[in-house]
Amino acid sequence: MTSPHPLRAMDITVGYRDAVLRNLSVAIPEGSFTAIIGPNGCGKSTLLRALARLLKPESGEIFLKGKPIGTYASREVARSLGLLPQSSVAPEGITVAELVARGRYPYQTFLRRWSRQDEVAVADAMAATGVEHLALERVDRLSGGQRQRTWIAMVLAQQTEILLLDEPTTYLDITHQVELLDLCRHLNREGRTLVAVLHDLNLACRYATHVIALRDGAILAEGPPTEIVTADLVRDVFGLSAVIIEDPISGGPLVVPDQKAI
């Protein structure tokens, strides 16, 4: 029987010099588009990096498909979980097609080299992200929106069930932010589980099906945005006085700052 939570953390403490997350437990619902929100420095990216096995918890455990993530080989993790980190930097001179092809690395072994299956996976990933016409272009010559789509195509080429995106809309203008999140929603509706760190609360409310609100390394609330995003939550998480109205497009919550000092 498939677990309703393919990725979860149990009582983890994680940090760098000092612990950023203490005794935190969270479960990512299968098939959700989960947005992690909160103020700067609250532990959003730390949580995502722990879920991706880039940071090892000092205590507690991360589970992937019901098993401790540390028990998997690296290639096994990469076949189940794709990660788009912050500020990805491509090797100088690499083309879009070459970068996307690197997403097939988890499937390459001494006995299994590049195959027709790999070619199809790369072509499908580029088509899904709308970058197939850029295949021969150098990544360092693309616009910010094109580069982000190329990186997501590389992650899609891994053909994983779970995608982790760390601040995917950073440095993008509003048009490219919406295009990228439209793509994320499409991927989610096709059956992938997405987890994204987002800074824009209103975009998170519009696109995410599940929201995790962090403050000082602790979860203050989690659930569908229509159920948890309230004026009280915005005040508690961001220290911002606001009113919540209905988004005329999505019908979800829309946060409007009231400009009053708290």
* Distance, CA of 14 to CA of 20 (rounded, Å): 6
Measured CA to CA, the distance from residue 198 to residue 45 in angstroms comes to 10
- Among residues 2, 59, 7, the alpha carbon closest in space to that of 212 is found at 7
pLDDT surpasses 60 at 86 = yes
Report pLDDT for 18. 67
| Tokens coding 187 | 């991927």
The domain locations on the chain are 7-257
Q: Is 226 a residue whose pLDDT tops 70?
A: yes
> Dihedral, CA atoms, 157, 190, 161, 211, nearest 10 degrees?
120
Q: What is the pTM of this model?
A: 0.89
Helices 116-129 and 174-189: crossing angle in degrees, nearest 10, is 130
Out of 60-74, 79-93, 98-112, give the one with best mean pLDDT: 60-74
Q: Which residue has the higher pLDDT, 146 or 233?
A: 233
- 96 phi and psi angles, rounded to 5 deg: -60, -50
* Position 176 confidence tier, pLDDT thresholds 50, 70, 90: confident
From the centroid of its chain, how far is CA 245? Answer: 26
Band (107; pLDDT cuts 50, 70, 90): confident
**Residue 193: which of 201, 202, 184 has the closest Cα?**
184
Binning pLDDT at 50, 70 and 90, where does residue 88 land?
confident
β-bridge partners, 218 = 215
Q: Which of 4, 14, 7, 3 is nearest to 60 (CA)?
A: 14
Could you give the CA distance from residue 8 to residue 111 in angstroms, rounded to a whole number?
Answer: 33
Q: pLDDT digit string (tens) for 130-149?
A: 999 999 999 999 988 888 88
CATH 3.40.50.300 fits 7-257, yes or no: yes
Percent of the chain with pLDDT over 70: 95
Q: Environment class of residue 100 by beta-carbon count within 10 Å: exposed (0-12), middle (13-18) or buried (19+)?
A: buried
Task: For residue range 184-221, list pLDDT tens digits in order.
Answer: 999 999 999 999 999 999 999 999 999 999 999 999 99
The interaxial angle of helices 116-129 and 144-157, nearest 10 deg, is 140
Residue 114's pLDDT is what? 79
Give the residue from 202, 195, 188 showing the smallest Cα distance to 234: 202
Chain Cα centroid distance, residue 79? 16
Give the tens place of pLDDT for each residue, 33-82. Answer: 999 999 998 999 999 999 999 999 999 999 999 999 999 999 999 999 99
Residue 1 has a pLDDT of 40
